[in-house]
Amino acid sequence: MRINKRIALIAASFVLSVSSYSQIVDLKLLPTEEPITITFQDALRLGIEQNTDLKQTRYGIALAESDAQLAAAKWLPSASLSLSHNIDAKKNSTEEPETSKAGITVKAQLFDAKLLVELKAKQQLTAAARQKYLYEQDVLLRDVGLAYIEAFMAEATKEIAFEEQEQYRLQIIDVKKKVEVDTARPFEITQAEYRSRKAHADYLLRNQDFSGRMGELGQKIGVQQFFLLSNIEISSVYLDEDASRIVGLATNGLDIRVARAELKASSFSLLAEKLDFLPKLSVEFTSAVRLGSSAAVSTPTTPWNHTAMFVLDLPFGGSTFAMIKNKQANYAIKEIAVQAKTKEKPLIVESLKQQIKDSEVVEASADLALESATLAKKDADKLSELNEITSVEHQRAISDLFSAKYQAVNAHLKREQAKLKYLFEIGKIRELL
């Protein structure tokens, strides 16, 4: 059911402060600029572009990439330069009183199984970080979409409440006229006033709720000025997709891919810790040269001295056993998480699919009920003019009409909420952009 917009006509009683929608006033008293309209797709796009938390998440990818690069750099040779100058002040020393030496040392890792497997673990964590960033975008799209639908629902019910209070206000006038000509009883005025005041209180409460919902939505999409909403009708080819293919999409969603990548990284990390007991082989090559001295020598020379050394490290320690136990527990936790997600996802998708079907039935029934209530209200208006029904019966017709309107709005938007969650769970919420 398409919800007609009445923002400009109704002049709803709320206004934004500098950064929120917290203060409630009557907009009819304030000159305002023409508000912009933000559609459902606009809100999703703005959520991706303006959200600061998502921008911060991007740095997680950079950190994971730098960790992988640092792990790879451990295999690169390292070089160091040294320069020394020695002064010997002993009077009877046969050595030269001053000497200078320079040298270069190059070290390289030839074999370290732990470092090699740790590099694979870091690479898997980098892949997981990239997948997680995309998943966080999907989560944001879902949250913004739900916030938009809730704000739209609050607006629609607020407008219905405004219309309802106006109907009861007009009925007070009508009942008073009938009392004057003895076609209605005085208590009916009191009853009409009660319904009018109750409807007004309901409108104020719904207006407050609408203000809060708009404030939450504005924060999520980075918009602080007053804006209007548009009608919501979510459509996607995946809503009618074959069930077996949908289950395949769901079990390969971004959240499960992130969990699998993290599990694989944990597996490599555990293996690397176990391989820490294997010998490690490295080589160190040093070349030094004597630059000369201050003493007079008959034949000046610059002799070179070269040294090559292979280092075989045989590690052993109780801390490694403790680390292996820790990483085994971490791996088991991640494995259980992957199994749980893989098992639960088809059930969640099937439940949401059924919700969509049920909502369609409810919405169709609510629309029929609204048509009947509308006709009944028209008939009640005519009979009231002819004084053929009491004001109580007239009020009941009015109440039934607005009850049907609330039901129709809720049924439609609940269905849209189910669609949004469904597309999120199967990893296709980006289709709405």
The CA-based dihedral angle spanning residues 267, 271, 272, 273, taken in that order and rounded to the nearest 10 degrees: 110
Cα separation of 293 and 304, whole Å? 15
CA nearest to 103, candidates 282, 283, 285? 285
Q: What is the reported pLDDT for 27?
A: 36
Please count the structural domains in the chain: 1
- Residue 359 belongs to a domain: yes
- The answer to whether residue 99 is domain-embedded is no
CATH for 137: 1.20.1600.10
* Nearest alpha-carbon partner for 111 in 274, 314, 269: 314
For residue 385, being part of any structural domain is answered with yes
* DSSP 8-state secondary structure symbol assigned to residue 334: H
Helix count (H) and strand count (E) of the chain? 9, 6
Reply yes or no on whether the pLDDT at 348 is more than 60: yes
pLDDT at 292: 61
Q: What is the tens place of the pLDDT at every residue in 168-188?
A: 999 999 999 988 888 888 888
Place of tokens 């034949």: 299
Rounded Cα distance, 101 and 163, in Å? 96
Q: Is residue 338 part of a domain?
A: no
Please give the pLDDT value at position 241: 86
Residues of the chain with pLDDT > 90, as a percent, come to: 48
Determine, yes or no, domain membership for 303.
no
Q: Which amino acid is at 307?
A: T
In a domain, 101, yes or no: no
Residues spanned by the domain of 367 = 7-74+119-269+348-432
Residue 88 lies in a domain: no
pLDDT digits (tens, 9 = 90+) for 279-318: 888 888 888 777 765 444 444 455 677 777 777 677 666 6
Give the span between the Cα atoms of 210 and 201, in whole angstroms.
14
**Domain annotation covers residue 150:** yes
Residue 25 has pLDDT above 70, yes or no: no
With cut-offs at 50, 70 and 90, classify the pLDDT of residue 103: confident
